[in-house]
Amino acid sequence: MRKKIVAGNWKMNLDRTQGEQLIQDVLAQKAEVSKGAILVFCPPFPHLGYAKSILGAENSIFLGAQNCSDKASGAFTGEVSAPILRSFGVEYVILGHSERRQYFAESDSLLAQKVDQVLANGLQPIFCCGESLEQRNAGDFVNLVSEQLTKGLFHLSAESFAKVVIAYEPIWAIGTGVTASSAQAQEMHAALRKHIAKYYGEAVAQNTSILYGGSCKPDNAAELFACADVDGGLIGGASLKASDFIGIAKSF
């Protein structure tokens, strides 16, 4: 069964005081969240310890990381491994975000290794895929984004793939204030689900949660989430304000 997920990617924002306040504010409003919806906080690494302490045994709000290493341990200064994340109570890990691909030159082959590390440690990848404005205008964006799934994920067994959450992020709509129309979002989500079905079968495809990530806000979330193949959102800027994050999470 597909999960309804709203994951907040804080990116490189909020100091400790601000982060603690945000988590407390969201917890205070969690009763407004749509029934069955899962919330995930994905803060910068230094926030993880206290965030887990605040959340405690909360069973509807989970902790996620924004990235992890492709290595389990070793002399890799500045990196954070999946085993370390697991030890802090992390349950989800964002992989392949467009900013990581663009600014840190993360390749499909590297991401495949990161996916393996995350799954080997019992965590769930939120695997990002998407196209730039130039690529969309070139017209072959469906095949391009589908290829990101093929190279990053399709080495997995069906059992392992079933633990992956997909996040489609039109790069041209991230932080720009431009949002893909609900029709554009549905078109791509349906295409990705069809691509998954070709390789893993219809049952796996229909049980894969595919999130939308691209300037999702409280005033457009309901329309996006009403699409048949949109199962929630990977939220950037709107996740930094509790009322906006909750506003999105009650839009199912």
Tokens representing 114 are 């990161």
- DSSP for residue 34: P
The Cα 96–Cα 215 span in angstroms is: 18
Asked if 187 is an active-site residue, the reply is no
Asked if 169 is an active-site residue, the reply is yes
Nearest residue to 117 via CA among 149, 161, 81: 81
Single out the catalytic residue among 97, 131, 189, 195.
97
Dihedral (C-alpha) 104, 99, 7, 182: value to the nearest 10 degrees?
Answer: -150
209 touches 232 (CB < 8 A): yes
Single out the catalytic residue among 99, 106, 131, 169.
169
Taking the CB of residue 12, how many other CB atoms lie within 10 A of it? 8
Inter-CA distances, 164 with 39, 222, 249, Å: 16, 24, 20
**Residue 160 CA, distance from chain mean position:** 17
Q: Catalytic amino acids?
A: 97, 169
